Amino acid sequence: MSKADSDSTDFGYQRIPAAQKVERVGAVFRSVAERYDLMNDLMSAGLHRLWKRQTIGMARLRPGHAVLDLAAGTGDLTRLAMRELRGRGRMVMSDINEAMLSRGRDRLIDEGVLGVEYVLANVEELPFPDASFDRVIIGFGLRNVTDKARALQEMRRVLRPGGFVLVLEFSKLYLPGLTPVYDMYSFHVLPRMGQMIAGDSESYRYLAESIRMHPDQETLRDMMSGAGLEDCDYTNLSGGIVAVHRGYRY
């Protein structure tokens, strides 16, 4: 790889200087923050709620656990995790985007979800000591990270021995007959929906492109192993539209 290649990264289908990605992604999520929850429901026909419930079920949380929710957006996974903790333990909700984190905090407080810590942080440079958490969860956020390998290493670093990372992310369909329909929806319907609902087609075009550029199931599993996580595996959901990856620290 040339130095030029190593200093650039994907932004959807574009190649941009790596130093610009955080701000470019931040602009996308600042643009969509106000309609983020509505668009999630419309884009997935409500399936994202099922995927998140399944992820928290796989987390095997219990009262007393310390849990870190990264790229937490408006807090869906945090809210579900808090139910499992039952008022005992530690719940940290973190995002790099202040607009998303603020919206998530306001939403959870309005819903009566109290006792959550809110931390503005970059997944690649987590502001937590080693071995701080029993579970680290990231839902639909890893594909927006500039240096995924470094982010995965940071997730492992803050895990306690015996804990594990869960990565919920869009993935690669294993039912090839659905691909043309999925592509039509992603690149034609989704941007139009974004324009009508959120007044922003380009941000949703980026989101569709970022899904296609994200590593497939086997590649991400190997990346997690390369970051030092062990017994890495994954579970496909909805035909591989999304997958939940898991990796342990022993």
Q: pLDDT of 158-193, one tens digit each?
A: 999 999 999 999 999 987 778 888 888 888 888 888
- Quote the pLDDT of residue 4: 41
pTM to 2 decimals? 0.88
Residue with tokens 């995002």: 95
Two tokens at 8? Answer: 């650039």
Architecture of the structural domain at 22-175+204-248: 3-Layer(aba) Sandwich (3.40)
Express as a percent the part of the chain with pLDDT over 90: 65
- Other C-beta atoms within 10 Å of 34: how many? 13
Asked if residue 116 has pLDDT above 90, the reply is yes
State the number of CA atoms in the 13 A half-sphere of 185 facing the CB.
11
Express as a percent the part of the chain with pLDDT over 70: 97
pLDDT interval class at 6 (50, 70, 90): low
Q: Is the Cβ–Cβ distance between 164 and 246 less than 8 Å?
A: yes
Please tell me whether 95 is known to bind a ligand.
yes
Please tell me whether 122 is known to bind a ligand.
yes
CA distance 45 to 47: 6
- Quote the pLDDT of residue 132: 98
Helix, strand, or coil (residue 128): coil
Task: Produce one character per residue of 101-130: b if its CB has 16 or more CB atoms within 10 Å, e if not.
Answer: bebbbebbeeeebeebebbebbbbebebee
Q: E strands of 40-158, at which residues? A: 66-70, 90-95, 116-120, 133-139
Please state whether beta strands 66-70 and 14-17 pair in parallel, antiparallel, or not at all (unpaired). Answer: unpaired
pLDDT interval class at 1 (50, 70, 90): very low
Q: E strands of the chain, at which residues? A: 8-11, 14-17, 66-70, 90-95, 116-120, 133-139, 159-170, 230-237, 242-248
Eight-class DSSP state of 187: I
DSSP assignments along 115-126, one per residue:
SEEEEE--GGG-
- Quote the pLDDT of residue 161: 98
Angle formed by the axes of helices 201-213 and 190-198, nearest 10°: 140
Please tell me whether 179 is known to bind a ligand.
no
CA-based nearest residue to 59, from 213, 163, 177: 163
List the chain domain ranges. Answer: 22-175+204-248
Region 3-28: mean pLDDT is 80
Helix, strand, or coil (residue 92): strand
Please tell me whether 167 is known to bind a ligand.
no
